[in-house]
Amino acid sequence: MSILKNKVKNIKEEIGEKNALLIYNPKNLYYLCGIEGFGAVGLLTPEKWTLFLNENDYELAADKNPANEVHLEIYKKGIVKDTIKELVKKGRISEIFVDNIYGEALRNLENATGRRIEISDVVERARMLKTDDEIENIKKACEIARRGIELAREIYLSEKRISEHNLAAELEYFMKKCGSEGTFEEGILLACEKNAAHIHAKPSDKIIKGAMLVDLGAKFNNYFSDFSRTFTERASNEVKKHAEFIENLELIIIDKIYAGMKIPEISKFAGKEIEKNNFKLFHSLGHGVGLDVHELPIINNDSKEEFTENMVFTIEPGIYKANKFGIRSEDTCLIKNGKAEIL
C-alpha cells in the first residue's frame, strides 16, 4: 500500500465507519493526497476519497494523473453541500466532521447541509507522527537551518557593522541559495540586546551589538525546521551566565524526554527550573514541526499528549527581561528508539 493510501486508511479508521470528513486546510490536503490545491476541498467518506479542485488546478493535477490516490473533481459552487446531502439521504454517512475552518464557513456549511458538523483535529493529530520520508525532508530542512545559524554566528563574531534587518536578509538569502524553499511567514526573527526581550521581535534597523537572538527555519520539500540561538560573545557576563543556564537547561530537558512521557511533565519541569532562576517561561516549551512550522503537539502544561516514537517537535526554553535582553535556545528534535534526539 502506498504511503498516501496508508495515511488515508488510518484517518478513515479514526473518523469511524459511516462517517465523513471534510478537509479544507491545504496542509492537511497535501498530507493526504500530495496535491496543494488553492481553495481545494477534500471529502473522505467510507467509499471514496475525493478532492474538489478549481478548474486551473484540476487541469494541472489531472495531467500528473495522481488519480489512483484520490478521485479528482472540478469544484463548483454548492458541490460539497449537494454531495453531502445526497450521501446523507442515501444513508451512506451519518456524522460529518470537518477540520478547523472559520466560524462563518462552519455556520454556512451547517445551514447549507441542514446538519450539525463536528470539528475534528484527526488529521492534525495524525500529522504529529512522521513517516521516514517526512523525517528525511525535515532533516534536510534542519541541515540548511544549521548552515544559516553558522553564518549568523560568523557575522556576529566578525563585529561587522550590520543592522538586524540586513543580517536577517543575508540569512534568508543564504538559506534559499542552500535550497530552502522559504522561512517563517513573518521572516527570520533576529534581535539584539533589549530588542530580543520581545518574544516575537521583528528585525529592526538597530546595528547588531551585545547579545543577539536568532530564531530561524528552513523549508525543504514542504517541511520545516526551527532553531534558535543566542550569541553572547559580545555581551556582559550577566547575560552570558543566563545564556549558559538556558543552553544547559535545553539539553537537560531533551535528555529527560522518552517515548511514553506525558508532555506536561517536561513542560512543568522546565517552568520550575526557570522559576528557580527568578524568571518565568512566558511561552510554550515547544511545538510540533512539519508541514507547518507550528503544529501539534503544543508542548505546554495543558497538553493531553505524550511523547511518541517518530514525533518531531522543538524544545525551546527562553527567558526575557524587558528593556534588557532575551535568551532562547531551540532545536528540532525527533523521538527515535524511545528517546529524543536533536535533528
Contact residues for its own copies, defined by CB under 8 A: 36, 38, 54-57, 59-60, 63, 98, 100-107, 119, 165-166, 168-169, 172-173, 176-177, 181-182, 185-187, 197-200, 202, 280, 282-283, 320, 322-323
Cβ-based nearer residue to its own copies, 63 or 132: 63
Three-state helix/strand/coil letters over 277-293 = CCCCCCCCCEEECCCCC
**The 41-44 sheet, strands edge to edge:** 71-74, 49-53, 41-44, 20-23, 96-98, 118-119
What is the grid cell recorded at 311? 514525533
Amino acid at residue number 226: D
How would you classify the pairing of strands 96-98 and 118-119? parallel
Cβ-based nearer residue to its own copies, 175 or 257: 175
> Residue 17 CB, nearest distance to its own copies (Å)?
24
> Residue 261 CB, nearest distance to its own copies (Å)?
24
Cβ-based nearer residue to its own copies, 46 or 66: 66
> Residue 91 CB, nearest distance to its own copies (Å)?
26
Please give the distance of CA 312 from its chain centroid, rounded to a whole number. 9
Cβ-based nearer residue to its own copies, 143 or 181: 181
| Calpha distance 330→250 (Å, rounded) | 7
> Residue 309 CB, nearest distance to its own copies (Å)?
28
Residue corresponding to grid cell 471514496: 48
How would you classify the pairing of strands 49-53 and 71-74? parallel
> Residue 38 CB, nearest distance to its own copies (Å)?
5
> Residue 101 CB, nearest distance to its own copies (Å)?
6
Cβ-based nearer residue to its own copies, 36 or 306: 36
CA 74 to each of CA 42, 79, 100, 153: distance values in angstroms, whole numbers, following the listed order: 12, 9, 23, 50
Q: What is the DSSP letter of 15?
A: H
Amino acid at residue number 287: H
> Residue 277 CB, nearest distance to its own copies (Å)?
17
Cβ-based nearer residue to its own copies, 217 or 307: 217
Cβ-based nearer residue to its own copies, 50 or 120: 120
> Residue 176 CB, nearest distance to its own copies (Å)?
4
Q: Which of 40, 120, 43, 106 is nearest to 74 (CA)?
A: 40
Point out which residues pair with 288 in neighbouring strands: 295, 313
Say if residues 333 and 340 touch (Cβ distance below 8 Å): yes
Cβ-based nearer residue to its own copies, 30 or 310: 30
Which region, left, alpha or beta, applies to residue 222 given φ > 0 means left and ψ of -120 to 50 means alpha?
Answer: left
Burial of 205 (0-12, 13-18, 19+ CB in 10 A): exposed
> Residue 267 CB, nearest distance to its own copies (Å)?
15
Cβ-based nearer residue to its own copies, 210 or 318: 318
Q: Which of 224, 222, 223, 204 is nearest to 213 (CA)?
A: 204
